[in-house]
Structure 1
Amino acid sequence: MISHLQNKRLKVFMAKLSSIQKNLKRMKMAKRDASKRQALKAIVMDKSLPIAERFEATLKFAKLQRNGAPTRIRNRCELTGRSRGYYRKFKLSRICIRALANEGKLPGVVKASW
């Protein structure tokens, strides 16, 4: 997971492993339930359907597991699992970006100078 960061200057601290595993579990659940959620949501939002059918869909939607919702997923650094200071473009935290950029391991990233 962090093989290319194994040098003397950069110390890597991992996030709590249970938090990382919990987030991975949520990602799998969200991927698995995505089509079901989308179908139920479409039924609930369709005003042309009878109110009873829409209400049934609402109840089914409420019975789905909350951890299967995409909003429960937290973006985490690929190297350390850190959840704060996350940059989507790199899928890394600000600390890892800075360390890798200083070592020249991120192509196209240079220090700002003007």
Structure 2
Amino acid sequence: MARKSWIQREKKRENLEQKYRLIRRSSKKERCKVGLLNDQRKIHGKLQSPPRNSSPTRLRRRCFSTGRARANYRDFGLSGHSLREMINRCLLPGVTGSSW
């Protein structure tokens, strides 16, 4: 189980990312349209003005059940540990576990 503070920090980052999403997209589109380098630098300054944690690259996928940050499968939203447990208990329909 992940620390609750890590999970709360991640939720805060998600909220900030949603809040500043439109500002980032519009300034990126502006930067593509402008041809002069000085104007591009001014627009790049606008991109740097929102908080760092509002950047989408700072977000991290976490396991839905445990909050684990590593070994996540996008299709299920689960970490490898919890995915294997659920497969062994036959809780995920259509998924077969392999053993060799």
TM-score by length of 2: 0.89
How far apart, in 1, do the equivalents of 2:11 and 2:30 lie? 29
Match of 2:83 among 97, 100, 108: 97
Between Structure 1 and Structure 2, whose CA radius of gyration is higher?
Answer: 1
List 4+ stretches of structure 1 deviating above 4 A. Answer: none
Which residue does the alignment assign to 1:88? Answer: 74
Amino acid at match of 1:36: I
How many angstroms apart in 2 are the aligned matches of 1:84 and 1:113? 22
Tell whether 2:4 aligns with 1:17.
yes
1:46 matched to 2:29? The reply is no
The answer as to whether partners of 2:14 and 2:59 remain within 8 angstroms in 1 is yes
| Residues in 1 aligned to 2:69 and 2:92: alpha-carbon distance in whole angstroms | 20
Aligned in 2, Cα 1:78/1:113: closer, same or farther, shift over 3 Å?
Answer: closer
Percent identity, aligned pairs only, is 35
* Bigger share in helix: 2
The equivalent position to 1:109 in structure 2, one of 82, 95, 100, is: 95
Query: May I ask how many residue pairs the two structures share in their alignment?
Result: 100
> Which segments of 5 or more consecutive residues in structure 2 lack a partner in the other structure?
none
Partner of 1:31: 18
Distance 1:104 1:68 in 2: 39
Q: Does the Cα contact within 8 Å between 2:87 and 2:95 map onto a contact in 1? A: yes
In the aligned structure 2, how far is the partner of 1:51 from the partner of 1:83? 40
Cα shift at 1:21: 0.6
Cα deviation for residue 111 of structure 1 reads: 2.2
How far apart, in 2, do the equivalents of 1:85 and 1:61 lie? Answer: 31
